[in-house]
Structure 1
Amino acid sequence: MTRSSFARDWMLFKASARQNAKLLPNRVSLHSGERAVPRSNLPKGVHRVRRKVVSGVRYHFYAWRGGPKFWEGTDPNPKEPDFFHAFSQCGTPVSPAEYLTTHLVDDFLSSASLPKAERSKADIRKWLELFREEFGADPVAMFEERASRGEVNNWRKKWLHSPKQHDMAGTHATRVLNWAVEEGKLKEHHCHKLKKLYQSNRTEIIWTSGDIAQFNKHAPKWVQRILTAGCETGLRAADLVQVKMDQFEDTPHGKRLRFRTSKRGQIAYIPATSALEKLIAETPEGQEVLLVSELGRPLTARWASNQITKWRREAQIPPWIDGREKTLSDTRGTAATRLLNADLSLRQIAVLMGWSVRYAAQVIEHYAQVSPDESDAVLRKLNRAKSLSQDTKM
């Protein structure tokens, strides 16, 4: 996608003019409530900002205006050696025209702002590399202009065929620009609250007992195990393929799975239903993970999901009334019902699934409505769980 050279030159001109204005002596900045403080014995070029906090006043020191922050404290004129050492590690300033988006991406990816989860890091790197491909040669100051919002929206149009990817592109662009503002590399940007296309509401799409029975008539045993594990645990595909046999613990009434979820990093305790206990019992001795491929190798989340899709088509599982096909992710509504039957409270189910209590109740209630053979028993348990939830609040 090629942007108009006129638009780019116009934004460069505006950005340069504003950056030059910033360099005027004795200028006071009131942006975002920040107030410049007169320099005294600070190293040449250091930009110091005074900010009020609950505990008093703190000073933030940047290697240069728009440069990286290297120090923070309550003393407006630090004299300790660590201060000067930290400043010396910042390198030399670059002019606004030289600080490009590719530099910004590098700085962000090497910062402490990345999440700890490897999967999240990989997602961020993927999207920021795509962001770099489009805007890498442009100065970061371009994003201080209102017209840059249109440029980012034009870039996102590459993924109009996939609303979820379209939205992810905007999410990660905003993430790195927010960081740039926080670190003093940008004064502001205009890419907040970009319009989203994807609407994630699959609560009504569930695997009924009839769907599962039909699926199991066609799918090989190792694929059946994937669907069963999804329906009985409610774990996301990325977690499901990581479940190890030594994570199952004995309880006074059976077994449970003790597992740290990848998305929130919380430990979930999932009671083993009779179907899950059967799955455990059928697992060959010496097999480290619960789910493996036909050749006995560990699965990836994508491969597991693709196999469910492949054999769902083979089994001719009917789509939902609006045409959406059932996926491995849609087993979570079924799992919520199974866990309710295993005597988990609505709150426990909500925590496990990452849902609100109200949302968990809606999913289970919908399951009961579309699965007539289980509706009466499920609704009785759901009503009892709702009552217990209300009593807990009182």
Structure 2
Amino acid sequence: MPKAKHDLPKGVHRVRRKVRAGYRWHFYAWRGGPKFWTDDVRKPSEPEFYHAFAEATTRPQPSKYMVPQMVDDFLSSTALPKAERSRLDLRKWGLRFAEHFKDAPAVIFEERGSRGEVNAWRAQWSHSPKQHDVAGTHAARILNWAVQEGKLAEHFCHKLHRLYEVDRSEIIWASSDREAFNGIAPDWVKRILCVACETGLRPGDLVKLTTAHVEKTPMGRRLHVRTSKRKRLAHIPITPELARVIDATPQGQLLILTNATGNALTPHRASEGVRQWRDKASLSSDLRLYDARGTAATRLLNNGLSLAEIANHMGWSIRFAANVIEHYARVSPDETDAVLVKLAQAKGGTK
């Protein structure tokens, strides 16, 4: 007699595991959910089995499970990202979300009208499109977690509209910008911008660079770095300009980049230092330390890396990398011809 297609309560995830005496079955409230029963038979029939399943899947009473409790459960869960900066950001916005909806039961997000409530909450940051969008992103992340954990049946805050749209491939540190910046900035800040423009590393990786990352190669030297965001190994050729910064690092100092007193930098302080002296040099307020990556992509092309290698190093698509380099060449007349020739060769599959 064929087995019934559905011989367990809907949603139960059953796993068979081998033991010394044969096999044993483990039952979970849902795939990835809590285990509520273990048995020697494939389909338990005892009433206790169904009672255990009901207890494992029972959500908190809608009238008692409030939004602050839901946020607290999320912030105490293993769903938080590993990066400290991301965790702090989630906590900040999660607590703001909980404060706004402190008198509401979590079940309100199962209603279609809750989408408007969330949009009204984040509208208080409409003057800052980036914060407006981040508020919605973190709210949706908390609600997604609540659904996955069975605390909500569903929610209606997916794909909230966004205000912040910018293509930063058009924003680069041109040669003239760097000259103006270097003309007034102190040495410790100039070193930050130089290393960023020569390596393309993010601020979080820049501040961790040490002389131990320098390796000798048959033709010179390179930096051997594991990036913090994607955990990829990057091998970056040391250009003459980057070599001058490395060689000028005081004897016995491990970190290549430090603050004015020789102490370790944070990513925020490195970015702020560049921003402050950018403003003093009367450069565009759109320029950030992060935008040095476009300059670095061009430098890497000039040092013989293929477009695929540059894209992999930057975490970009090959097309995006080519567009950034082409734009850089067009706004840097002193490099246009040589860079565009190399870019054409790279697109053609040669270095």
TM-score by length of 1: 0.76
Q: Is 1:233 equivalent to 2:195 in the alignment?
A: no
Q: Is 1:141 equivalent to 2:88 in the alignment?
A: no
- What is the Cα deviation at residue 108 of structure 1? 1.8
SS at match of 1:107: helix
Partner of 2:34 in structure 1? Answer: 70
**Residues 37, 50 of structure 1: 8 Å contact kept:** no
Instruction: Determine which of 11, 21, 40 is the counterpart of 1:49.
Output: 11
Partner of 2:29 in structure 1? Answer: 61
**Residues 307, 321 of structure 2: 8 Å contact kept:** yes
Amino acid at match of 1:368: A
Residues 97 and 120 (structure 1), Cα distance of their counterparts in 2 relative to 1, 3 Å cut? same
Partner of 2:317 in structure 1? Answer: 356
How many residues are paired up?
Answer: 329
- What is the Cα deviation at residue 172 of structure 1? 0.9
The separation in 2 between residues aligned to 1:75 and 1:240, in whole angstroms, is: 56
Partner of 1:347 in structure 2? Answer: 308
Worse-matched range after superposition: 106-115 or 378-387: 106-115
- What is the Cα deviation at residue 122 of structure 1? 2.2
**Residues 57, 150 of structure 2: 8 Å contact kept:** no
**Residues 173, 295 of structure 2: 8 Å contact kept:** yes
State the Cα deviation string for residues 176-198 of structure 1 (Å, max 9, x = none): 11111112111111000000111
Partner of 2:127 in structure 1? Answer: 161
- What is the Cα deviation at residue 61 of structure 1? 1.0
Worse-matched range after superposition: 168-177 or 234-243: 234-243
The separation in 2 between residues aligned to 1:165 and 1:250, in whole angstroms, is: 44
The separation in 1 between residues aligned to 2:247 and 2:192, in whole angstroms, is: 15
Residues 265 and 153 (structure 1), Cα distance of their counterparts in 2 relative to 1, 3 Å cut? same
Amino acid at match of 2:301: L
Partner of 2:333 in structure 1? Answer: 372
The separation in 1 between residues aligned to 2:14 and 2:167, in whole angstroms, is: 42
Instruction: State the identity %.
Output: 52
Residues 78 and 230 (structure 1), Cα distance of their counterparts in 2 relative to 1, 3 Å cut? farther
State the Cα deviation string for residues 113-170 of structure 1 (Å, max 9, x = none): 2222222222222221221121233211110011110110011112112111111111
Over the residues paired in the alignment, what is the CA RMSD in angstroms? 3.1
Worse-matched range after superposition: 365-374 or 102-111: 102-111
SS at match of 1:388: coil
Residues 288 and 97 (structure 1), Cα distance of their counterparts in 2 relative to 1, 3 Å cut? same
Q: Is 1:386 equivalent to 2:347 in the alignment?
A: yes
Alignment of 1:244-283 (within 5 A): 244-283=210-249
Instruction: Determine which of 84, 87, 107 is the counterpart of 1:121.
Output: 87
SS at match of 2:35: strand
Instruction: Determine which of 311, 334, 349 is the counterpart of 2:295.
Output: 334
Runs (5+) with no aligned partner, structure 1: 1-34, 40-47, 63-67
Instruction: Determine which of 65, 68, 77 is the counterpart of 1:99.
Output: 65
TM-score by length of 2: 0.85
Q: Is 1:314 equivalent to 2:280 in the alignment?
A: yes
Worse-matched range after superposition: 103-112 or 292-301: 103-112
The separation in 2 between residues aligned to 1:381 and 1:103, in whole angstroms, is: 58
The separation in 1 between residues aligned to 2:108 and 2:295, in whole angstroms, is: 49
**Residues 228, 276 of structure 1: 8 Å contact kept:** yes
